[in-house]
Chains A and B, each alone.
Chain A
């Protein structure tokens, strides 16, 4: 019985300290120091409407926008997930065949693999820089912009996520599309 009571006491105090005190402390730091990221890095329109989160991919299907990587969960921000298909699965081949058709890829113009592979969260906001360049023709034609201008935009927004530790540059699709929409 004393063993049980000691357990109960220690459990309740650790609950108070570790779940209560610790959470409150981290919450305080986050909301005071980095309120923007702490609340989910939301992107808002000038009128205050929430357009999405800088961190999360959202669906883009129109030809005048850059398209993100495929999502196994339809870019659901409240139910994220990957395809969990084996990389040998014929389901994946079928899915990728559709994506290939959408992008109009052909043997003469093969597409970068990140545009065909779904991310683990289904919310990966980035594509590689070359995957963005791959879409320049479509976007520039649809927007009647010079190719050069669209490519310059990509170059301006692409970055190496780990500095000198990563050699592949990536770019945020949402950021790119918002920048495209700016006059």
Chain B
């Protein structure tokens, strides 16, 4: 009963909020009219972006500007991290960071992944946290949102827009206001927010306890809203300072999914097909709820390792979980954070029951059930292209989407993007499972160790950022390999869909006829769901069997 109420509160709350937010996103990102305040803000952004922002561009120019912007993001952030030992706001005297770790961290935060091979309270100065890592958590989701808006415009048959205007809109009209609302709420609920350094306590039994602190609330708000997930502290939202109580947990969980949900409505508004958006939303929600159900059921089994001991076996697995969030909060969050590309955790995924641990992996393999801010729906677009293609093949008609033909070129590009994800996950896992690069870094033997490697590459390629954190992943091979995967897996699924949208926007709009595939019906929803599941299962099922399923069977009684 607790569990159902919690799901209703979090998923229902986020769904309800996503509707008005979707309307705001449309107005902020792609204003219909530029009268009054909207026009003034727009002129501001254009004045600021310089001569390049005068007009709208095609997809090539848009992509070029997007990449340049990311190079500059990467460079600024890299310089701050590489020089943190000399910079101010370092009350605890944090030292130099190792080169490959800096590369990995900056790649991770630039690509909106926020995989962390460091532990915040041990390695990062307050300046690095705020000006490098937190700043990237603002602009990287903004880049994703800009890309989605451009794609939507292209599919609506318009020019793609202007990247520098879009990215400012996303940063200053979406991310910033949302965080300015959320952060004070988190503060009022008890989240720490200070620039002071750590404090040394003498415990009741006379031991010393060093207590790390910092500007957590500000960091936390953008971490959740921007599908970032990079924690201030090592254990992320399990830490009592990063998630102090039941209510911060609820608010954070809603913040994880609300913007990706709103993106679907924004897309519907821009292309003018709200019923189609509702079908896509329903498909995503169906996948989300099935995963939540599975995770909660499997996690209700008691810890297998305690089976032979005089311990009560009437409670679900509690290893790696906090008590203040309630029993259902761990598996629910695990699903939400991997449905979206958030990647923050409120329980240790490495210690989830074997089958439960597979659920977050499924989320990252599909990577389209709401997904990252902007990019989640871009990933879903790839599945939609494949679904309309398959549907077209079945009835022997040229497939169409939004009244534009989907032809060989578009399908090829979509397959390439989907294939890249599979290659990064499975290829990386194979390489590291076969070599000491991976084998010597495991925290658990056997099938669970394989799962640790598989999870790490899934998380990198899905730009998620959560982990089976027992893995000793701060090594040069891991830092370099996952750093490269994160960057490639970020930009390939942005650039290729923009290319597809670009080529589709050039095509003549076809007239609706009785033979046109209706994309706002339940039938289409089922077709889309089947496409996602078949592709996902065919690609990743063998790996799932070697990892979590094998571990489950091994301990089955």
> Does residue A33 face the partner (Cβ distance < 8 Å to B)?
yes
What residues of A have a CB within 8 angstroms of the CB of B222 in the complex? 18
Tell me the complex Cα distance, A137–B354, Å: 37
Give the residues in chain B near A123, CB-CB below 8 Å.
239-240
Instruction: Choose, from B230-238, B261-269, B283-291, B425-433, the stretch at the interface.
Output: B230-238
Q: A144-163 CB contact bits vs B (8 Å, 1 = yes)? A: 00000000000000000110
Q: How many residues of B contact A (CB 8 A)?
A: 121
Apart from A65-B204, A84-B469, list 6 A-B contacts with CB within 8 A.
Answer: A43-B201, A75-B209, A80-B234, A83-B320, A117-B321, A118-B319
Q: When the two chains form their complex, are residues A26 and B245 in contact, meaning their CB atoms are under 8 A apart?
A: no
Q: Whole-angstrom distance between the alpha carbons of A82 and B263 in the complex?
A: 34
Question: Please, how many angstroms separate the alpha-carbon atoms of A7 and B276 in the complex?
Answer: 35
Tell me whether A55 and B235 are in contact (CB under 8 A): no
Of B175-183, B504-512, B536-544, the one touching chain A: B175-183
B352–chain A nearest beta-carbon distance, Å: 7
User: Contact between B468 and A121 (Cβ–Cβ < 8 Å)?
Assistant: no
Confirm or deny: B86 has a beta carbon within 8 angstroms of a beta carbon on chain A.
Answer: no
Decide yes or no: A60 and B205 within 8 Å by CB, A31-B194, A78-B210, A111-B312 being known contacts: yes
Q: B201, A53: Cβ atoms under 8 Å?
A: yes
- Residues of A18-72 at the interface with B, using a CB-CB cut-off of 8 Å, are 18-20, 22-23, 25-27, 29-31, 33-34, 37-43, 49-53, 55-56, 58-62, 65, 69
Contacts of B235 in A (CB 8 A): 80-82, 120-122
**CB–CB A126/B193 < 8 A:** no
Interface assignment of B346: CB less than 8 Å from any CB of chain A: yes
What are 13 contact pairs spanning A and B, CB under 8 A? Answer: A18-B175, A23-B130, A23-B215, A26-B218, A27-B195, A27-B215, A40-B192, A77-B211, A93-B309, A100-B311, A117-B320, A161-B245, A162-B326
Contacts of B250 in A (CB 8 A): 162
Cα–Cα, bound, A37→B355 (Å): 38
CB distance from B470 to the nearest CB of A (A): 3
Contacts of A5 in B (CB 8 A): 50
In this complex, the interface size class of chain A, counting residues with CB under 8 Å from chain B, is: 35 or more
**B435 lies within 8 A of chain A by Cβ:** no
A residues near B321, Cβ cutoff 8 Å: 117, 119-120
CA distance A123 to B244 in the complex (A): 11
Q: A86-B551, A87-B303, A119-B238 known; A59 and B203 CB under 8 Å?
A: yes
A135 part of interface (Cβ distance < 8 Å): no
Please give me the residue from chain B that is nearest to A53 by CB atom: B211
- Say whether B51 faces chain A, with CB atoms less than 8 Å apart: yes
Determine which of A50, A96, A106, A121 lies in contact with B322 in the assembled complex, contact meaning CB atoms within 8 Å. Answer: A121
Q: Which residues of A contact B167 (CB under 8 A)?
A: 10
Interface presence of B325 (CB below 8 A):
yes
Q: Is residue B437 contacting chain A, with contact meaning CB distance below 8 A?
A: no
B526 contacts the other chain (Cβ, under 8 Å)?
Answer: no
Considering only CB atoms, which chain A residue lies closest to B214 in the complex?
A40
The answer to whether A84 and B210 touch across the interface, beta carbons within 8 angstroms, is: no
Interface digits, B169-196 against A, CB 8 Å rule (1 contact, 0 not)? 0011001100110011001101111111
With A37-B192, A51-B203, A106-B310 known to touch, is A26 a contact of B217 (CB < 8 Å)?
Answer: yes
Are B303 and A92 in contact, CB atoms less than 8 angstroms apart? yes
Q: Select from chain A the residue with minimum beta-carbon distance to B203.
A: A58
A42–B201 touching, CB < 8 Å:
yes
How many A-B pairs have beta carbons closer than 8 Å: the answer is 383
A141 CB-CB contact with B under 8 Å:
no
Q: 8 Å CB contacts to A: which residues of B37-82?
A: 48-53, 64-65, 68-69, 71-73, 76
Q: How far is the CA of A178 from the CA of B151 in the complex (A)?
A: 59
B interface residues (Cβ-Cβ under 8 A, vs A) = 1-2, 5-6, 9, 48-53, 64-65, 68-69, 71-73, 76, 119, 121-122, 130-131, 134-135, 138-139, 164, 167-168, 171-172, 175-176, 179-180, 183-184, 187-188, 190-196, 198-205, 207, 209-213, 215, 217-218, 221-222, 233-235, 238-241, 244-247, 250, 302-306, 308-315, 317-327, 345-348, 350-354, 443-444, 448, 468-470, 551, 554-555
Partner of A38, one of B187, B207, B233, B304: B187
Chain B nearest Cβ from A51, distance in angstroms: 6
CB distance from A136 to the nearest CB of B (A): 16
Specify which chain A residues have a CB less than 8 angstroms from the CB of B244 in the assembled complex: 37, 41, 55
With contacts A9-B49, A84-B351 known, is A128 near B323, CB below 8 A?
yes
Contact B2 A165 (CB under 8 A): yes
Residues of B within 8 A of A168 (CB): 323, 326-327
Q: Kindly state the separation between the CA atoms of A125 and B243 in the bound complex, as whole angstroms.
A: 12
CB pair A2–B209 under 8 Å, yes or no, is no
From known contacts A56-B211, A84-B469, A105-B310, infer whether A127 and B190 are also in contact, taking CB-CB under 8 Å.
no
Partner pick for A89 among B247, B448, B468, CB 8 A cutoff? B448
Contact indicator B72/A78 (Cβ below 8 Å): no
B217 lies within 8 A of A181 (CB): no
- Taking a contact as CB atoms under 8 Å apart, the answer to whether B317 and A97 are in contact is no
Bound-state CA distance A135–B134 (Å) is 43
Cα-based distance from A121 to B394 in the complex (angstroms)? 52
Give bound CA distance, A166 to B71, whole Å. 47
- In the assembled complex, the CB of A150 is this many whole angstroms from the nearest CB of chain B, namely 17
Q: Which residues of B contact A31 (CB under 8 A)?
A: 193-194
